[in-house]
Structure 1
């Protein structure tokens, strides 16, 4: 019997029972191998199946590994992180590391006019390539320096928001094994180091993969130094040089708790959605059974929609979408027109960004707003919201809105955006997992009373019941509007409120 058959038999027993004897597996296999040899053969696979083995006389006991309690920071650490989010920016020690690296790389002061001019040109070239839908190259030194000046500050704070979400949703362990695929100059590791250093609890070890030699040089100058300056909470391993599209999974560490694809899948323009999903699913062989995949992409229409389609394809390969999507009708969604993103408060510009912004057309080099599309996926079918529409409940599916145009109805849906409108007319993307056409909850400029602020402060992905909303069809955009009226009743379904924001 092959090794694959042995592992399959082991997996079947483990799924059926929380504890069993190795002799039971030996009997199932029927190939006469001694218990000692069989124990050695399966030992390498126990970690991937979250199993342990202990000797018991002439036999062995195989049991499920006890599940670690989720890591939660102490109150003081929590308050420090929330204070950071109220006035976010790149910490001074990271700014100084970046400035020192620029000086090391160029042999000039970080704010030398020649250096600033070359970085500005690199930023303009990158932005031009991006908006033309072309692959952005980081083979030259100033391309990486431009990235550190323009993109990195926002991406760093952005990932702190995502990591904080993972922690507060109970998905983090006291010690985390983290793999950042396509790490670039190490922005995600810097965010992890900074957050763990601030909250003063928990620990992590970071592995990273990157193919650009210039990015790796920056990574090695920035990330280990940042980790050393914040104590021993985060251990940084030497990054692996390689193309994530051509990695040998066997070369990667196993039992990864957090596998990150941050602003990287959109750059694989040479492969289609199914192949991207196959790539992620293949690399996820190294994920711990209770590990999490994080996918983050820019918030523009093309990349955001492509990300949702990719996430749906990954889910079809045996993973669950933990958040932000909730399939409250038990249906499979159609993400063809799913443009959703999250927006957070602007960051303070770095010293480097301020100097670039002081030059001619300086506004082109200031990047402070945080907008991103993201998703968390799991192997173990864990989801953020377990709510399902109760049988017989009088709610209309969003896929059936065409039947209810110009009528008042009841719906239940997830909140999939912040306010996309303005302070007068508020617009929120909503989804129940069924619609073919985009659907928005509209708070008209003329509305007064409690309903005006009823959606403020609810978290991204929160599930909300709407009673008595008016259905309108927006022909210009091919979308449905659910107009909230003075008599509309709005009831969040066990949804938390954004920390630091009062509920309406």
Structure 2
């Protein structure tokens, strides 16, 4: 009896009724195996069929699971997660798993001076290569350990911020299939495991693609034990060992609810923007109809602008940007100079990082700040913000700023950065999807009150309306500053402005 025959039979029964008996399946298949043996054989197939198995009266009930619902925190879990994100740190359980893995790989205590020196050397080498080539290799053992010691803590917490935003937007399900593309040693699944453990609900089936054997080894040593220790309902599959450039779509599970590319596309240096967009589009074919793709890249100029160009090319292949871009004039953007990123509060350094930072040049080994560029993509046309500038509204497009130099105008745009200013002034990157030259909202240091507070409180990607800002041209950077004056009025776009959400 082939597996495909079994799957087809289970689908047939599940399509007819919500609960059926395993003995019925056995009879239909003419399978001679005892009921318990047949149950053990089909159990691994059930998550993909949205079925569950329950023993009853010497037989088993096969129960069709209800449709997944948006994931929501239970009881006081929201407060717990918000407290965590205000002062985040790698959970102690995960720190111990990492330390144990280092000891297994090196045969020495994790804080042995020789081990620490070798980790420092690996970190310095990685950072040097990154700034020269904007890419890092994690093929050798100490390179992976160096990554786990220096980069991984920030990436884990960074993705928890992203997961929390996805949950707040209703994009996470209480039962979901997750694919981490180019998973490395598993920071994305570890972040999800930590979140599910803290909010006290939800279940996930985790898949991964990774080409490095060293990373796969680390993934296997960290992710399944973390899921077990957290007591969450998470099934962890062995990563698919494959290179993304030659990956067959047949190797990828379908009906994926959340697909993640974390610091992956920037590593495909030999691929053009169009080829990266093609890869996104191909893998989107494995998404559930209401599935989500998250792409994350470092916040530096080269990688951030590459991400925006790739996302723009993905729009031509049928995908939709859910966040952060909103295209409020109804036209696609030209992102050649779109350098924009998010910044979150620093993490508390874990034990290993603190030990590495002891001694001279401690700054080289302490990595606690969270800055990243990201995009959330969908294939069902759903967007976070559906606001469009009304036809008769008296707002200037950012593409027309050259006509309004030194004049006061009205503008509507998304706030695409935190405060980039200094010496008292506040500066925010803004975008309306039309500008070829970068534009910034500038709040002078002497200006106090509501205008400053509105921009401070506007979340990344939030839409604001500026009434009476002065246009100044910055010739050195070929950019425009929209200077907020005492008489300037700034308002957040809301449902009153014709948007269901923003």
Decide: shared fold, TM above 0.5: yes
Secondary structure of the residue aligned to 1:456 is: helix
Q: Counterparts of 2:439 and 2:89 in 1: how far apart (Å)?
A: 34
Over the aligned positions, Cα root-mean-square deviation in angstroms equals 1.6
Kept after mapping to 1: 8 A contact 2:417/2:429: yes
Q: Are 1:104 and 2:81 an aligned pair?
A: no
Aligned in 2, Cα 1:71/1:436: closer, same or farther, shift over 3 Å?
same
Secondary structure of the residue aligned to 1:454 is: helix
Q: Are 1:481 and 2:490 an aligned pair?
A: no
Q: Counterparts of 2:171 and 2:103 in 1: how far apart (Å)?
A: 40
Kept after mapping to 1: 8 A contact 2:281/2:314: yes
After TM superposition, give the deviation of residue 421 of structure 1 in Å: 1.0
Q: Deviations over 1:403-449 (max 9, x none)?
A: 11111110000010010113611010000000000000000112123
* TM-score normalised to structure 1 length: 0.84
Q: Are 1:417 and 2:428 an aligned pair?
A: no
Q: Are 1:187 and 2:187 an aligned pair?
A: yes
- The corresponding residue for 1:323 is 323
After TM superposition, give the deviation of residue 489 of structure 1 in Å: 0.7
Q: Deviations over 1:44-74 (max 9, x none)?
A: xxxx9xxxxxxxxxxxxxxxx9975422223
Kept after mapping to 2: 8 A contact 1:185/1:218: yes
- The corresponding residue for 2:366 is 366
- The corresponding residue for 1:437 is 437
- The corresponding residue for 2:457 is 457
- The corresponding residue for 1:94 is 94
Q: Are 1:350 and 2:353 an aligned pair?
A: no
Kept after mapping to 1: 8 A contact 2:135/2:266: no
Kept after mapping to 2: 8 A contact 1:462/1:492: yes
Q: Counterparts of 2:135 and 2:80 in 1: how far apart (Å)?
A: 38
Secondary structure of the residue aligned to 1:198 is: helix
- The corresponding residue for 2:222 is 222
Kept after mapping to 1: 8 A contact 2:196/2:232: no
- The corresponding residue for 2:85 is 85
- The corresponding residue for 2:153 is 153
Q: Counterparts of 1:240 and 1:459 in 2: how far apart (Å)?
A: 37
Q: Are 1:269 and 2:264 an aligned pair?
A: no
Secondary structure of the residue aligned to 1:197 is: helix
Q: Are 1:247 and 2:247 an aligned pair?
A: yes
Q: How many equivalent residue pairs?
A: 433
- The corresponding residue for 1:115 is 115
What residue ranges of structure 2 are gaps of 5+ in the alignment? 1-47, 49-64, 496-502
Q: Deviations over 1:216-256 (max 9, x none)?
A: 11111100000001113222111111112211101111000
- The corresponding residue for 2:237 is 237
- The corresponding residue for 1:202 is 202
What residue ranges of structure 1 are gaps of 5+ in the alignment? 1-47, 49-64, 496-504
Q: Counterparts of 1:266 and 1:122 in 2: how far apart (Å)?
A: 21
Secondary structure of the residue aligned to 2:387 is: coil
Q: Counterparts of 1:448 and 1:223 in 2: how far apart (Å)?
A: 49
After TM superposition, give the deviation of residue 140 of structure 1 in Å: 1.1
* TM-score normalised to structure 2 length: 0.84
Q: Counterparts of 1:378 and 1:198 in 2: how far apart (Å)?
A: 27
- The corresponding residue for 2:4 is none
After TM superposition, give the deviation of residue 455 of structure 1 in Å: 1.0
Q: Are 1:141 and 2:141 an aligned pair?
A: yes
- The corresponding residue for 2:307 is 307
Q: Deviations over 1:100-122 (max 9, x none)?
A: 10001101010111101111111
After TM superposition, give the deviation of residue 374 of structure 1 in Å: 0.1
Q: Are 1:76 and 2:76 an aligned pair?
A: yes
After TM superposition, give the deviation of residue 135 of structure 1 in Å: 4.0
